[in-house]
Amino acid sequence: MNEMFQGILSWDFIASGIRVTTPILLAALGALIAESAGTPNIALEGIMLISAFIGVIVSGFTGSLWLAIIFGVIVGTLMAAILAYFALKLKTDIILAAIALNIFASGGTIFFLAMLTGDKGSSASVNSLLIPNVTIPIIDKIPILGDILSGHHSITYVAIVLIFVVQYMMYKTPLGLRIRAVGENPDAAESVGISVVKTRFIALMLSGFLASLGGLFLSMGYVSWFARDMTAGRGWIALAAQALGGLNAFGVAAGSFLFGFTEAVSYSLQIFDIPYEFTQSLPFIITIIVLGIYAWRKVKASGKLNVSNSSVGPTEK
């Protein structure tokens, strides 16, 4: 028991928590933007996976880190654009469309991996690159603080900055105002000449962009290869983190850290004699429990009775 606490409380553990949180946080910020626009993006899982794949393949075949990043981001954003096109233009149910994209990502990455490398399990044979870590001078030298704050992956820093950027964008800029307006009352937005389709398109593409950064982090930072279905549910956990944090970037970040640290705990537990299957399921179980408690408190607070929201809110419908 003592050992365990030592494991959990070590500074390494915090650093590892931050690392594990990064992809969840990025995808969750994406989920926040999409949700604000009234078009939940549940293709985050697939978008991350595709970007992770593209990053590895492009860097492996071209040897260029920048090309890998650029293509990873473009393809991820493009996936979101496809989702937007089908949901907004062709009126496909956005959830089914996203499920289709997730299926595409899961099978498609394996297909192309096999086509390009002859291996269906992982990209071990590809000599792919890593996006470097960043050492912050001076802080780096301070004990403890240096361990926690410095030496992280560059995308981790980007993710932290993006918390503030997303919050600023959503609540201070015209684009954010429009996204929120479109999400809350699309007809109202349309009536003042804002194109609902265009605004939602942008929101979904931004969410795809953020998720693709998360994907790149997975295959070019967290580990240095691509493996089939390597996102392993992080896109879904990100949705849960968003549900917890609401439409506030700081809340969403808090939710992401909660789940990230749970995952980190599950890793530290692996040194003990606990079967690996249990530690692996832990983040998911915790997510379900937290979601349950959160939902329960919300239900209690509003005193609603039925499954549909038959509550009487403010008079405006």
Partner 1 sequence: MKADKRFTLYRIGISVGIALLIGYIIVFIASVPSTDIAFMKKMKEAFDSANEAYKYFLTGALVRWRFTGAAFNQSGFIQWINEAVPIIITGLAVSMVFTAKQFNIGAEGQMFLGAAVATAVAIYFPGIPFISTLLVILTAMAVGAGFASIPGFMKAKLKASEMVTSLMLNYVAFFMGLFIIKTFLRDTEAGSLVSLEFQQQTMLPLLNERYRWHIGIFIALGMTVLVWFIMKKTTWGYKVKLIGDNIKFAEYSGINSSKMVFQVQVAAGAVAGSAGIIELLGYHGRFLWLYSPGYGWDGIIIATLARNNPLFVPLAALFLSYIRVGAKIMGRYTNIAPEIVAILQAVIILLVTAEAFLAKWKQRSINKEATQSETNDTPVQVGEVR
Partner 2 sequence: MADNCILEMKNIWKIYPNGVVANKDMNLKVNKGEIHALLGENGAGKSTLMKILFGIEQPTKGEIIYEGRQVDISSPHKAIEYGIGMVHQHFMLVPSLTVAENIILGMEPKKGLSIDIDQAYRFVQEQSDLFGLPVPSKEKVKDISVGMKQRVEIIKTLVRGANLIILDEPTAVLTPQETVDLFNALKNLTEKGKTIIFITHKLNEVKEIADRITVTRRGRVVGTADVKDISEIEMSKMMVGRDVDIRIEKEPAQSGEKLMEINDLEFTRTDGVKSLKGISFSLREGEILGVAGVEGNGQTELVQIITGIIPREKGRIKLNQVELPKITDPGFCRDAGLSHIPSDRMERGVAADSTIAENIISDRFKKVPFSKNGVIKWKEVYGFGEEMIKEFDIRTDSARTEIKMLSGGNIQKVVVAREFTAHSKITIADQPTRGIDVAAADFIRRRLVKERENNLGVLLVSADLTELLEVADRIIVLFKGEIVAHFKEVKQINETVLGEYMLGIKRMSSEEMGDL
- Residue numbers at the binding site for partner 2 (CB under 8 A): 168, 172-174, 177-178, 180-181, 184-185, 187-195, 302-306, 310-317
Residue-by-residue DSSP string for 28-90: HHHHHHHHHTT---TTHHHHHHHHHHHHHHHHHHH--HHHHHHHHHHHHHHHHHHHHIIIIIS
Question: Which DSSP helix (H) or strand (E) runs through 298?
Answer: helix 276-302
Q: Does 196 bind partner 1 (CB under 8 A)?
A: no
Residue 295 in the binding site for partner 1 (CB under 8 A): yes
Quote the least distance from Cβ 190 to partner 2, whole Å. 6
Taking CB under 8 A as the rule, does residue 310 contact partner 1?
A: yes
DSSP string, 92-116: --HHHHHHHHHHHHHHHHHHHHHHH
Residue 194, phi then psi, degrees to nearest 5:
-80, 130
Residues 6+ apart with CB under 8 A from 296: none
CB of 295 vs partner 2, minimal distance in Å: 16
Among the listed residues 307, 312, 314, 315, the single contact to partner 1 using CB under 8 A: 307
246 part of the interface to partner 1, by CB under 8 A = no
Residue 170 in tokens: 């959503």
User: Shortest gap between Cβ of 30 and partner 2 (angstroms)?
Assistant: 20
Q: How far is the CB of 248 from partner 2 (least distance, A)?
A: 13
**CB 169 to partner 2: min, Å:** 8
| Residue appearing with tokens 């028991």 | 1
CB 169 within 8 A of CB 175: yes
Cα gap 229→209, rounded to integer Å:
19
From partner 1, partner 2, none, which one binds at residue 315 (CB under 5 to 8 Å depending on kind)? Answer: partner 2
**Interface characters, 222-241, with partner 1 (x: CB under 8 A):** ----------xx--xx-xx-
Nearest residue to 109 via CA among 44, 53, 60: 53
Rg (CA), the chain: 20
User: Considering the rule CB under 8 A, would residue 154 count as an interface residue with partner 1?
Assistant: no
Residue 248 contact partner, candidates partner 1, partner 2, none, CB within 5 to 8 A by sort of partner: none
Q: Does 299 bind partner 1 (CB under 8 A)?
A: yes
Choose, by CB under 8 A, the member of 9, 103, 142, 161 that binds partner 1. 103
In this chain, which of 74, 106, 136, 246 binds partner 1, going by CB under 8 A? 106
Please tell me whether residue 247 binds partner 1 under the rule CB under 8 A: no
- Measured between its terminal Cα atoms, the distance across the chain in Å is 55
Tokens of 241: 């983190």
Cβ at position 224, least distance to partner 1 in Å: 23
Q: Are 43 and 81 in contact (CB under 8 A)?
A: no
Compute the least distance from the CB of residue 12 to partner 1, in Å.
Answer: 25
Residue 312 touching partner 1 (CB under 8 A): no
Q: At what angle do helices 11-36 and 249-268 cross, to 10 degrees?
A: 140
- Enumerate binding residues for partner 1 (CB under 8 A): 42, 86, 89-93, 95-97, 99-101, 103-104, 106-108, 110-111, 114-115, 120, 232-233, 236-237, 239-240, 243, 275, 277-278, 280-281, 284-285, 287-288, 291-292, 294-296, 298-299, 304, 306-308, 310
